[in-house]
Structure 1
Amino acid sequence: MKKDKQPVITSYRLEDLLVVPGLMIDVHYKTAGDDHHHPHVDLTQAHRHEFYTLAVTGHQRSLHMVDFRQVEMPPESIFLLSPWQIHLPQDIILVSDLFLISFTSEFLPPGAPALPVCMEKAITPDPEGYKEIWYLCQRLLQEFNHRKALQEPVLQHYLALLLTLFTRYLPENASSKQLQPELLTRYRELMEVHLLSWSSCGDYARALHVTTDHLNEVVKQETGQTASALLAARRILEAKRMLLHSTHGIKEIAWYLQFNEVTYFNRFFKQHTGQTPLAFRISSREKYNYNPE
């Protein structure tokens, strides 16, 4: 198997953030000026997580850049950051009333609700629903900080209940894995892991132990797109992320995404976006008044 390239944008595993190694969950209530993470982890710069993070604000607002969107979290709101999304907190040092609950998909118990593939904006529950959610965050924190017998299953079930209440307030059309067949879910997961080393649908079909035709049939039935179109869209998404957030040149990004020639990368990108990579980089940085350099 070909070894994946080192990330252009810093990527963190949950193990990198845990103060006490062990459980694949981290529950933290952020207060003014605190920093519960390891010294080598810099969450003030653009980065991505290989895990979920559920953020629940108290009486303060919080502002973030997620991929290509400014996400404002009003007081008493909730936002779920999905694995591999590019995240840049814009006021994390100032915010002092915020729950951050990070966990891997493997930590969730059977029967836990399906989670959104990505959220467009924060949600604000009704007061009674928010009160329940905040209380569960407090219970999670208390259980996390006190090492008692059966701690892991208790945390798992508190988390499952919290996420169930959270999904109650999602828009009805929220994109969710719940309606996806297992093959499509696994295909998406493999793309996240092997995007920089596997460039054809055949690579994924072999890993999934199905034919390319069968993979294509399932993907098209569920998404309306071919498997190759879904893969191309994912490569474009990664290109956009790097063009906005990294300091690498167009040629370096093309090579990183397995385009042998920068001219082919330029054509591929323009075909799918209507812009050249350079034009996208300039316009997106102007739009968000953001330059990582």
Structure 2
Amino acid sequence: MPHGTRRIDIELVPYRPSAERALDLEVFSMSDLRRRVPRAHLQRHHRYDFHMFVCVRRGICRAVVDFNHIECGAGSLLTIRPGQVHRFGPGSRWDAHLLLFRPELLQVSQGEERLQMPELIDALPGHLRLDRSTGRFLADTLARLEEDCALDARQPLLNWLLQSELATLVTRLHIFHAKQQPSVGTSSDAPERFRHFKRLLDAKVHQWHHVSRYAHAMGCSEKTLTRICSAVAGVGAKAFIASRLALEAKRLLVHTEMPISAVAQRLGFDEATNFTKFFRSIEGCTPGDFRRQFDVSL
């Protein structure tokens, strides 16, 4: 590793519920978590294999999620997805309800149509400021989930109950967030097609760098995909792909000891110089400079 580079250790955290019944969902407070684990552990970098919702009740929660510094005040929600790198900042003058759940719990069927719960969660921003009504609904639902986790019932039935309540919560949050977005003049299926694009991007970002590849896979023109992406995400497809590719690059640069040439190869660049040119165009610095200078402290 280059001199002066400090690799950031990331702890991979699997879902390990504290309850004996090993339910797929757990609710507790940040105060409870502080009593369970040392303070230093809370301020380490973690990558989870589960979802975590942090509903801030008091004070200001400071966190870093995938290189983004976030401040969440009381009445707001921090959402952390599986695979993201996260750490809480210092300080204990804040409290929150924490909702942890396994991705498998999102597989919900409703009548003949399948509710796309993973896509609904994926559409939520990392930081969501709630109005009073939605905040109260969230707090009430979390309290009910915590009570229901303690019910004396067979595990399959209890998991189904928790799954149903989680689906209601996620749907309500999605409806609230959708109302906050500006109206766009595009087809009604644009959000679903954009989610299809994102799924392809997650799977192929290391191989496909051009809009044409995704447009072909989706059976549409590049102009159509760009119009969909602009309407839903506020940026064109080319910029969206570049941003996602840059995020993967930053994760590898900061959280691994891979040489820059190996990072370039992992991300599908035939030459390290092409990767450096791309990275500089997005971040304004070389990959080596980013690795040396990035500050993850709060």
TM-score (norm 2): 0.69
Paired position in structure 2 for 1:263: 273
Amino acid at match of 1:29: S
Tell me the number of residue pairs that the alignment of Structure 1 and Structure 2 aligns: 268
Amino acid at match of 2:181: N
Counterpart Cα distance in 2 of 1:129 and 1:184: 26
Determine whether 1:27 maps to 2:37. Answer: no
C-alpha displacement of 1:244: 4.1
Amino acid at match of 2:146: L
C-alpha displacement of 1:138: 1.2
Paired position in structure 2 for 1:123: 129
- After superposing the two structures, state which structure 1 stretch, 251-260 or 58-67, moved more: 251-260
C-alpha displacement of 1:97: 4.3
Amino acid at match of 1:133: L
- Against the structure 1 CA distance between its residues 60 and 98, is the aligned structure 2 distance closer, same or farther, given a 3 Å change threshold? farther
Residue of structure 1 aligned with 2:167, choices 156, 160, 163: 160
Kept after mapping to 2: 8 A contact 1:215/1:227: no
- Against the structure 1 CA distance between its residues 179 and 280, is the aligned structure 2 distance closer, same or farther, given a 3 Å change threshold? farther
- Against the structure 1 CA distance between its residues 230 and 272, is the aligned structure 2 distance closer, same or farther, given a 3 Å change threshold? same
Paired position in structure 1 for 2:195: 185
Kept after mapping to 2: 8 A contact 1:46/1:245: no
Counterpart Cα distance in 2 of 1:221 and 1:9: 40
Amino acid at match of 2:148: E
- Against the structure 1 CA distance between its residues 151 and 83, is the aligned structure 2 distance closer, same or farther, given a 3 Å change threshold? same
Secondary structure at 1:57's aligned position in 2? strand
- Against the structure 1 CA distance between its residues 204 and 148, is the aligned structure 2 distance closer, same or farther, given a 3 Å change threshold? farther
- Against the structure 1 CA distance between its residues 92 and 245, is the aligned structure 2 distance closer, same or farther, given a 3 Å change threshold? farther
Kept after mapping to 2: 8 A contact 1:115/1:167: yes
C-alpha displacement of 1:116: 5.1
Kept after mapping to 1: 8 A contact 2:57/2:96: yes
C-alpha displacement of 1:54: 1.4
C-alpha displacement of 1:174: 8.2
TM-score (norm 1): 0.70
Structure holding more strand per residue = 2
Paired position in structure 2 for 1:151: 158
Aligned residue runs from structure 1 range 70-149, under 5 A: 70-91=69-90, 97-104=96-103, 107-109=106-108, 110=110, 111=115, 114-115=120-121, 117=123, 119=125, 121-126=127-132, 128-146=133-151, 148-149=153-154
Kept after mapping to 2: 8 A contact 1:56/1:79: yes
Paired position in structure 1 for 2:4: none
C-alpha displacement of 1:273: 3.5
C-alpha displacement of 1:266: 0.5
Kept after mapping to 2: 8 A contact 1:116/1:174: no
Kept after mapping to 2: 8 A contact 1:55/1:98: yes
Paired position in structure 2 for 1:48: 47
Counterpart Cα distance in 2 of 1:241 and 1:118: 21
- After superposing the two structures, state which structure 1 stretch, 217-226 or 63-72, moved more: 217-226
Kept after mapping to 1: 8 A contact 2:63/2:70: yes
Structure holding more helix per residue = 2
Counterpart Cα distance in 1 of 2:22 and 2:204: 26
Kept after mapping to 1: 8 A contact 2:45/2:86: yes
Counterpart Cα distance in 1 of 2:203 and 2:23: 22
C-alpha displacement of 1:108: 4.9
Unaligned runs of 5+ in 1: 1-7, 37-41
- Against the structure 1 CA distance between its residues 10 and 284, is the aligned structure 2 distance closer, same or farther, given a 3 Å change threshold? closer
C-alpha displacement of 1:192: 2.5
CA offsets, 1:58-97, max 9 Å, x none?
3343221112322122233322223443312224888654
Kept after mapping to 2: 8 A contact 1:112/1:164: no
Counterpart Cα distance in 2 of 1:51 and 1:174: 31
Secondary structure at 1:70's aligned position in 2? strand
Secondary structure at 2:64's aligned position in 1? strand
- Against the structure 1 CA distance between its residues 179 and 137, is the aligned structure 2 distance closer, same or farther, given a 3 Å change threshold? farther
Unaligned runs of 5+ in 2: 1-7
RMSD: 4.1
C-alpha displacement of 1:50: 4.6
Tell me the percent identity: 20
Amino acid at match of 2:287: P
- After superposing the two structures, state which structure 1 stretch, 187-196 or 62-71, moved more: 187-196
Paired position in structure 2 for 1:57: 56
Paired position in structure 2 for 1:223: 229
